[in-house]
Amino acid sequence: MEKKSTFELIYDVVRQIPKGKVATYGQIARLAGNAKWSRVVGYALHANPDPANIPCFRVVNRFGGLSPAFVFGGINVQADLLRADGITVRDDNTVDLDVFMWNGL
DNA sequence: TTAATGACCTATC
DNA sequence: CGATAGGCCATTA
């Protein structure tokens, strides 16, 4: 039943995000293979069927701002998780992409 | 089945 | 340089 759907590709990229770094939807979409999956990427993370291996909290938009709706338990929790990874989360739940934007190994 | 929406980005004027 | 518009894929109703 699983045939490597777009979600799998997106999850695969998100899973490659190293600790202490964050990736953007567009970047993930690009690494996934198509730079137009940006929307589907957000959808995939929104579905987040495997939050255990899909740290959506490490995924931020182009502005470095986290999502308005978190699934792990609370958006403020995400900021805490990012901080636990050594990431600097701003007061507005924004991350410094200039320092943590994952290059995409 | 069709239609509409969505945690977005990129390109162009 | 700055701002606007459009587009693309998948999911859900």
pLDDT by residue (tens digit) across A30-64?
999 899 999 999 999 988 888 888 999 999 999 99
Which positions on strand C lie below 7 Å from a protein C-beta? 7-12
- CA A86, CA A8: separation in Å to the nearest integer? 27
- CA A34, CA A100: separation in Å to the nearest integer? 23
pLDDT by residue (tens digit) across A1-24?
556 788 999 999 999 999 999 999
Which positions on strand B lie below 7 Å from a protein C-beta? 6-10
Q: Residue A4, class by beta-carbon neighbours within 10 Å (0-12 exposed, 13-18 middle, 19+ buried)?
A: exposed
> pTM here?
0.89
The yes-or-no answer on residue A56 being catalytic is yes
Cβ-7 Å neighbors of strand B: A 24-26, 29-30, 35, 38-43, 45-46, 48, 56, 59, 61-63, 66-71
| Closest nucleotide to A70, Cα to C1' | B7
Q: Which CATH architecture group holds A6-100?
A: Orthogonal Bundle (1.10)
Ordered by start, the domain boundaries in chain A are: 6-100
